[in-house]
């Protein structure tokens, strides 16, 4: 261990002769501790909300969505479906037909997206986990049923348990030429309410689910036309490898999008929010670290006699600067470890017991703030704190023991 390191560590561990120096040093440690703990906790809360949103989307959205590169609607290719199912990473594939329709119930009307799905949809979408009732009933061709998003059910004021009449669906016929003639241009299909699902506000207010034959019946389609394939993958597979395999089957005929690509804008916003939070908390931490500048400055003034002795014994200006620079770095690192300990403990307690609630009443998906620790965030926090510690420690060390440093002047200040 070098003499510089030993002297610096001794200064850090020993009690200062001036109370104000001890007070400012303690204040610096508290500021860095609080800033570090706040940064790691806030980032974990953001991760928790991001993970919650992704989990909600994952319950309804497929891992991969496949649409035609040329047409909005197309006829399914059974050979193509089988080739996808032959991939070992694929768990299920469903045929889907989506289009806009008018829903009417007891004088209330609402325009939503009718999503017609085949029998494989329950393998792609965890439907039972998002519905009020775990029973999924699509009815029959003669007596079709519908599963409404909770937002649509609210707008129509339809009660799942006390639906007194059927819900009427209106959709323009594919071959309609004059939409001003509603009798001949629109198809009406009464359906019974089967269930209500709740995922996320955007989806709850947009989608209503029916069977694929019911969707064809509503939109006046006599063949097996669909708008897309929805694919569910097995857990832990490589998405890029699966996409490459699917693209190689028919490279130019289909557009392939992952769940992340379907919500690319939202995910980009969440990442931008995270970096904004990092910069804001780092700036607050930098301000809180100004007390570290004062602590090092007071220490240099207090140890001016020691500096004189070291200088007389042949210590260079750089060695003297390193002594106080390392002392400031020790304070910063000490505060950082305390902050990490407090932050990680808080995250563990919140995740296990949910002590801090959202503070609102009602039927919400969660009752407490979600948290999710990512070790990459811990690395970012460590780099930020050490970076700020280097800056705030170097400034007084280089300034007060600079090129034109005078020991006599420092002694007079003391």
Render pLDDT for 18-27 as a digit per residue (tens, 0 to 9): 677 778 888 8
For residue 256, how many C-alpha atoms fall within 13 Å in the half-sphere facing its CB? Answer: 19
Summarize pLDDT for 111-121 with one digit per residue, the tens: 999 999 999 99
The CA radius of gyration of the chain, in Å to the nearest whole number, is 33
Tell me the C-alpha to C-alpha distance, in Å, between residue 265 and each of 21, 201, 257, 271, 306: 51, 17, 14, 10, 60
Average pLDDT over the chain, rounded to whole? 85
Neighbouring-strand partners of residue 131? 197
pTM for the complete prediction? 0.78
Which pLDDT score is estimated for 321? 80
Token readout for 151 is 């937002």
Summarize pLDDT for 181-209 with one digit per residue, the tens: 555 678 899 999 998 998 888 899 999 99
Summarize pLDDT for 91-100 with one digit per residue, the tens: 999 999 999 9
316 pLDDT exceeds 50? yes
Within a 10 A sphere around the Cβ of 128, how many other Cβ atoms?
Answer: 14
Summarize pLDDT for 257-298 with one digit per residue, the tens: 998 888 888 889 988 999 999 999 999 888 888 888 888 887
List, in order, residues 6 or more apart from 223 with CB less than 8 Å away.
75, 216
């Amino acid at each position: 261990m070098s003499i510089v390191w030993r002297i610096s560590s001794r200064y850090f561990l020993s009690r200062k002769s001036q109370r104000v120096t001890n007070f400012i040093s303690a204040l610096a440690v508290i500021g860095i501790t609080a800033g570090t703990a706040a940064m790691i906790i806030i980032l974990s809360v953001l991760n928790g909300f991001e993970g919650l949103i992704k989990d909600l989307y994952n319950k309804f959205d497929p891992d991969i969505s496949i649409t035609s590169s040329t047409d909005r609607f197309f006829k399914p290719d059974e050979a193509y479906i089988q080739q996808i199912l032959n991939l070992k990473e694929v768990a299920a594939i469903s045929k889907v037909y989506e289009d806009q329709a008018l829903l009417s119930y007891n004088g209330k009307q609402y325009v939503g997206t009718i999503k017609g799905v085949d029998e494989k949809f329950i393998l792609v979408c965890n439907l039972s986990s998002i519905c009020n009732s775990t029973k999924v009933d699509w009815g029959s061709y003669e007596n079709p049923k519908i599963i409404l998003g909770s937002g649509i059910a609210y707008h129509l004021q339809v009660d799942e348990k006390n639906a007194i009449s059927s819900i009427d669906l209106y959709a323009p016929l594919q071959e309609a030429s004059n939409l001003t003639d509603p009798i001949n241009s629109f198809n009406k299909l009464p359906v019974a309410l089967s269930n209500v699902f709740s995922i996320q506000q955007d989806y709850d207010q947009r989608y209503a689910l029916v069977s694929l034959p019911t969707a064809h019946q509503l939109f006046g389609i006599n063949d097996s036309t669909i708008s897309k394939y929805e694919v569910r993958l097995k857990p832990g597979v490589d998405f890029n490898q699966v996409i490459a395999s699917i693209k190689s089957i028919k490279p130019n005929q289909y557009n392939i999008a992952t769940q992340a690509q379907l919500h690319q804008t939202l995910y980009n916003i969440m990442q931008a929010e995270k970096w904004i939070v990092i910069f804001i908390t780092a700036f607050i931490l930098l301000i809180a670290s100004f007390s570290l500048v004062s602590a090092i400055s007071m220490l240099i003034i207090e140890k001016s006699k020691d500096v004189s002795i070291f200088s007389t014994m042949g210590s260079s200006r750089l060695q003297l600067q390193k002594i106080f620079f390392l002392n400031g770095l020790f304070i910063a690192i000490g505060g950082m470890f305390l902050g990490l300990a407090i932050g990680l403990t808080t995250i563990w307690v919140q995740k296990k017991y949910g002590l801090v609630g959202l503070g609102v009443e009602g039927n919400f998906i969660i009752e407490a703030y979600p948290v999710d620790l990512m070790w990459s965030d811990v690395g970012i926090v460590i780099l930020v704190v050490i970076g700020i510690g280097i800056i705030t420690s170097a400034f007084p060390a280089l300034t007060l023991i600079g090129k034109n440093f005078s020991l006599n002047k420092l002694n007079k200040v003391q």
